[in-house]
Amino acid sequence: MISRHRKSWPAAVEIHPASEAASILQALHRGCNTSVLPVSLEQIAQLVGVVRVIRKPLRRSGRLLPVNGRYVIELDDSEHPFRQRFTLAHEIGHLLVARKAAEVSFSQNGLVHCSLDPHLESICDSIAANLLMPRQEIERRLGDASLSLNSLSLFAKEFQVTLSALAIRVTEIFDEYAFVLWKYGRRPGSARIAFRVHWSATPRGIFIPKHDACQPECVVEATCKHRRIYGVIAELDLGSLRGPHRVQARPLSPGRSPEPRVLMMVHLDRQEQRVTSGFSDLGESEPCPSE
């Protein structure tokens, strides 16, 4: 749980998400069998001093509470179980990093207060991703696979993570794919409603601006309209992602907001591509927790 009171990150503490997550995982995995999926977060939580995980109605995704020198983690039970798993892993990350940086303090109501520094949030998200989707397991299961949105949905269920979380993790490990989440709405300061980039996950060296609009009649609008997974070779003009690329798109189930959303997967292979006018129907979009 993150306090509303901002605290500065200690100047003497330098933490890098990937290296810190790796060192923490090395210590945790001595007592945990992470080759069995899904990874048991409850077992990991016990190892770091969490005595209980409570699921109850909350106004936030989760929070960390001190209990006699140990900790309880509360999770919002209205969220999908896969989303709750990421929140639990994220809260474990806050506890581990906060202890290392001596950034834990307690308010009068006993809530753990941690820095709002985006760097800290990045560390905790990285720890969560490494706990739920260990690099060696991602490489072993996905490395030789021909990835598609259909196969990623199956892998997401195997790891018990959301499709978005797995998509982001894939771009951290492999450089052959990029992902864009389109959300129907307005750009800040604009009255025009369209599918716009809500977030993107790309390998290093590729930049996609947030709030960019997709072209009319594109695969994003078609897949949302027909609730199908479509593939096409499309001419892209998204920041530094330009030229013809093989793309797939699938509609996502509604999240906390009712606006339509579509996840697009871009294949970054260097083979010569020719733009196609028609879409390949890759099947019906089966339910899969998205975010």
Lowest-confidence pick of 19-33, 48-62, 90-104, 216-230: 19-33
Q: Give the residue from 129, 51, 141, 50 showing the smallest Cα distance to 87.
A: 129
- Examine the domain organization and report whether 151 and 62 are in the same domain: no
DSSP letter, residue 214: P
**What domain range is 162 assigned to?**
144-284
DSSP letter, residue 30: T
- My answer on whether omega of the bond before 38 falls inside 30° of 0, hence cis, is yes
What is the model's pTM?
A: 0.84
Q: Which among 132, 166, 186 is the end of a domain?
A: 132
Q: What is the CATH number of the domain that holds 151?
A: 3.30.450
- Examine the domain organization and report whether 181 and 124 are in the same domain: no
Lowest-confidence pick of 166-175, 194-203, 252-261: 252-261
* Residue 253: per-residue pLDDT: 77
- Residue percentage of the chain with pLDDT more than 90: 44
Tally the domains of the chain. 2
CA distances, 290 to each of 153, 207, 231, 262 (Å): 9, 22, 19, 10
* Residue 218: per-residue pLDDT: 84
Q: Which among 72, 102, 132 is the end of a domain?
A: 132
Q: Which among 86, 107, 132 is the end of a domain?
A: 132
Q: What is the CATH number of the domain that holds 107?
A: 1.10.10.2910
